[in-house]
Chains A and B, each alone.
Chain A
Amino acid sequence: MTTLLEHRYRAGEMHRFSAAGEQFVYLPQAGAIFALDEATDGVLGLLGDGVAAHDDLVAALTGQGMTMADAEGLLRELRMVRLVEAENVVARAPVVDTPPDDFPLQALVLNVTNQCNLACTYCYEFGADKISTQTGKTKYMTPETARAAVDFLLESAKGRDAVHITFFGGETLMNFRLLKEAVAYADARAAETGRRVTYSLTTNATLLTDPIIDFLAEHAVGVTVSIDGPEKMQDARRVYKSGKGSYAVIAPRLKALIARHTTRAIAARVTLSAGVTDVVGIYHHLKHEIGFHEIGFAPVTTTDDGHDFGLNGDGMSAVLAGFNALADEWLAYALRGEMHGFSNVSETLSELVVGTNKSHPCGAGLGLLGVSPSGDLSPCHRFTDADDHVLGHIDSGVDQAKRSDFLTRGHVGAKYECTSCWARPLCAGGCHHEAFVRYGDTGHANLHYCDWIRGWTDRVLDIYGTLAVKNPEFLDRFADRKGLS
């Protein structure tokens, strides 16, 4: 006698949210977002945290007036999308795979110098938590090294029509001459094979001059300015070696930059640190008084003891409150069809539009590598000149064993704490560099900001849902958005 197999379901992995009176669900296994109807809500309510038999669910649904066929169809739909799954399904162990050795490069970050004319007290390159070992190394990248780096990029970017070069420092403009030469060389080399190179740079803006600005505009070099806000906040930690603040120097140069450089959006990148947490005030100063197009914020990277600049729990709460206030503004703009400049929302939202599901937190070591002034390769600019993190040299190429080790440890599947977190498709454990500074391992999940990331992702999902109901066309604008850097 055969016993009929009774199918029992439990709820699949999901993060539910509601916005504008509607119900939504975010599926971490895929990065998918669905709006769900009352019937679906009802089934998930019946399941709760437990399990229910297929026939019982059908009976409950037909009891509510649904036909048998509709009830079966609903359960089938939920099964196919994995909102419900058989109770005895065992989750597959996460696969930690590394990309092939010839994974094509997309971007290089050229550290054209490791020197800086400022001495920002929280700097990860020069400050208390630095991991770079610069003693005895080249301070300024030579034209030969830059050319070799361009050749290396084009050679390693097989199959890509466009590649990207970011110029970084130190203070990038302390080696502007090299930047100019590198752009000319890269444009010429790319043209030979019918490819394109796009450019960006990060600067503290102290050395901007009109000729430099005109060059950047002419070559459509995207500019990100590291700046912390109004004079008082900027001068708290972004200081010269003498201790003098830099605000008075950069303010007129920023106005000139924004007035003359109109080929790309000009972005500000704010480092939030102790006492510098007035996100809303900083945003409005940079957006409306200086004129930046986009402003992005990130908390300072620091060890657990925080030094005098680290953000403690109260500081981070203030930051989240500020983020939420700006997110409200962002949404109000979006509902009117206008773009707001708070890029933390725009960046997260554009990843949600695509349904990004990351194996690694960023492109470091994958499509992106950093190049030190001496030509050493590193996962990204934050690891430049750090001996322990060298991944090869532009002359000899990528050290595949080291790269593989870096990527294996940084894979989200290798971070146990991430496996049960619904925000992992976007976070994937967070910044490799921050993890190293705090935990001594690039592959450690950044557990100190998990709650923060989930809180923020949930906030942007709320915006997503609201727009999906009230102004869905606005979301389409983010379908092709590329990162600014």
Chain B
Amino acid sequence: MKHLKPLNAKARRIEADIGAAIEEDVVALQQAPRPHVPLGCSLSFSPGWEVDASGGTAGLCQPAERDIYDCYVTCFWPVQMADHVNYSADWASNCAAATKDWRNLDVVFP
């Protein structure tokens, strides 16, 4: 800590806790001071549920449908996507390899 100096045992424990804490590891997506990229999507190198600089999806470096497949399989985030547990268990059955078969991922009509 740079600005506060702990002066009793309890304050030193707080300082130690802060020192040991992982940098605020749970944050809202757009929380200040800067926008955060969801960790899971960024690791798998797909942009997540995002928009391009113009607010649309046309300019993304990967097709938006790729996101959907990524979310369908791995993501815990409750977004508007095909639900592989209850309603759309075979949604990805025609997509053995996402890099080749992503065109087979179709829109879901509930």
Q: Given A30-B14, A32-B14, decide whether A54 and B32 contact each other with a Cβ distance below 8 A.
A: yes
| Residue from B5, B7, B18, B30 with most neighbouring chain A CB atoms (10 Å) | B7
| A74→B24 CA distance, assembly (Å) | 15
Instruction: Name which residue of chain A comes closest to B35, CB basis.
Output: A4
Residues from chain B with a CB closer than 8 A to the CB of A32 are: 6, 8, 10-11, 13-14
B21 at interface by CB-CB < 8 Å:
yes
| Residue from B4, B13, B14, B33 with most neighbouring chain A CB atoms (10 Å) | B4
Q: Given A35-B5, A36-B4, A80-B21, decide whether A54 and B33 contact each other with a Cβ distance below 8 A.
A: yes
Which candidate, A124-132, A321-329, A348-356, is the interface stretch facing chain B? A348-356
Residues from chain A with a CB closer than 8 A to the CB of B3 are: 36-37, 39-40, 74, 77-78
| A298→B71 CA distance, assembly (Å) | 68
**A4 pairs with B30, CB closer than 8 A:** yes
**A352 pairs with B18, CB closer than 8 A:** no
Q: How far is the CB of B64 from chain A (nearest CB, A)?
A: 17
Q: Which residue of the partner chain, among A80, A81, A357, A468, contacts B7 with CB atoms under 8 Å?
A: A468
**B8 pairs with A355, CB closer than 8 A:** yes
| A34→B10 CA distance, assembly (Å) | 10
Q: Chain B 1-40 against A: per-residue CB contact (8 Å), 1 yes, 0 no?
A: 1111111111101100010010010001011110000000
Residues from chain B with a CB closer than 8 A to the CB of A37 are: 3-4
Q: Given A74-B2, A354-B8, A355-B9, decide whether A5 and B14 contact each other with a Cβ distance below 8 A.
A: no
| Residue from B1, B3, B9, B13 with most neighbouring chain A CB atoms (10 Å) | B3
A7 at interface by CB-CB < 8 Å:
yes
Instruction: Name which residue of chain A comes closest to B10, CB basis.
Output: A355
* Contacting residues of chain A (181-211) with chain B, CB-CB under 8 angstroms: none
Instruction: Name which residue of chain A comes closest to B34, CB basis.
Output: A72
A55 at interface by CB-CB < 8 Å:
yes
Instruction: Name which residue of chain B comes closest to A80, CB basis.
Output: B18
Residues from chain A with a CB closer than 8 A to the CB of B1 are: 77, 81
A-B contact count (CB 8 A): 85
Residues from chain A with a CB closer than 8 A to the CB of B21 are: 80
A2 at interface by CB-CB < 8 Å:
yes
**A34 pairs with B32, CB closer than 8 A:** no
Residues from chain B with a CB closer than 8 A to the CB of A55 are: 32
Q: Given A5-B30, A54-B32, decide whether A464 and B9 contact each other with a Cβ distance below 8 A.
A: no
A247 at interface by CB-CB < 8 Å:
no
**A34 pairs with B9, CB closer than 8 A:** no
Q: Which residue of the partner chain, among B2, B7, B31, contacts A7 with CB atoms under 8 Å?
A: B31
Q: How far is the CB of A334 from chain B (nearest CB, A)?
A: 15
Q: Given A54-B33, A355-B10, A355-B11, decide whether A34 and B2 contact each other with a Cβ distance below 8 A.
A: no
Residues from chain A with a CB closer than 8 A to the CB of B9 are: 353-355, 479
A370 at interface by CB-CB < 8 Å:
no
Residues from chain B with a CB closer than 8 A to the CB of A77 are: 1-4, 18
A243 at interface by CB-CB < 8 Å:
no
Q: Which residue of the partner chain, among A81, A353, A357, contacts B18 with CB atoms under 8 Å?
A: A81
Residues from chain B with a CB closer than 8 A to the CB of A7 are: 31-32
**A5 pairs with B11, CB closer than 8 A:** no
**A35 pairs with B10, CB closer than 8 A:** no
Q: Chain A 368-382 against B: per-residue CB contact (8 Å), 1 yes, 0 no?
A: 000000000000000
Q: How far is the CB of A359 from chain B (nearest CB, A)?
A: 15
Residues from chain B with a CB closer than 8 A to the CB of A81 are: 1, 4, 14, 18
Residues from chain B with a CB closer than 8 A to the CB of A122 are: none
A429 at interface by CB-CB < 8 Å:
no
| A27→B2 CA distance, assembly (Å) | 18
A58 at interface by CB-CB < 8 Å:
yes
Q: Which residue of the partner chain, among A5, A39, A73, A465, contacts B32 with CB atoms under 8 Å?
A: A5
Q: How far is the CB of A17 from chain B (nearest CB, A)?
A: 12
Known contacts A32-B11, A55-B32; 13 additional CB pairs below 8 A are: A5-B31, A30-B14, A32-B8, A32-B14, A33-B7, A36-B3, A36-B4, A37-B4, A40-B3, A40-B4, A78-B4, A80-B18, A83-B4
Q: List 20 A-B contacts (CB under 8 A).
A: A6-B32, A30-B11, A30-B14, A31-B10, A32-B8, A33-B8, A34-B4, A34-B7, A34-B11, A35-B7, A36-B3, A36-B5, A37-B3, A37-B4, A74-B2, A76-B24, A80-B21, A355-B11, A464-B8, A468-B7
Give me the interface of B with A, judged by CB distance under 8 Å. Answer: 1-11, 13-14, 18, 21, 24, 28, 30-33, 55
- 7 shortest interchain CB distances as A-B pairs: A355-B10, A32-B11, A35-B5, A32-B10, A34-B4, A33-B7, A33-B8
